[in-house]
Amino acid sequence: MLQTVQAFQLGSSTVITLPKKLGILPGQRLKVDKYGQKITLQKEKITEEQIEKLVKKLSGGARLKKDLTPEEINEELDRRYEEMLP
């Protein structure tokens, strides 16, 4: 699918807007490569290590086993919360 987009200046960066139908989400990381006159974008694949870092960050530092179901996670967090109450 070949489409034409227009670049513009934003601060010290050159920016292009991509059509929504390309499926690129806001905040999504892309790899950019240039071959002569051709510029390619590739969705960055997230590694297991990056997933673990994100989960840790989102969980507020709570150390949970990786293989817990959502129900087990809720139970564990509820248990920890109850332990903190006076």
pLDDT of 7-66, one tens digit each? Answer: 999 989 999 998 888 888 888 889 999 999 999 999 888 788 877 777 777 766 667 777
| H/E element, 31 | strand 30-35
Top-confidence residue, 68 or 40: 40
Which pLDDT value is given to residue 1?
78
Tokens of 76: 């564990």
Top-confidence residue, 80 or 62: 80
> Is residue 19 exposed (0-12), middle (13-18) or buried (19+ Cβ within 10 Å)?
exposed
Average pLDDT over residues 60-79: 78
Instruction: Write down the residue that tokens 């564990």 correspond to.
Output: 76
| pTM score of the predicted model | 0.46
Q: Are 59 and 52 in contact (CB under 8 A)?
A: no
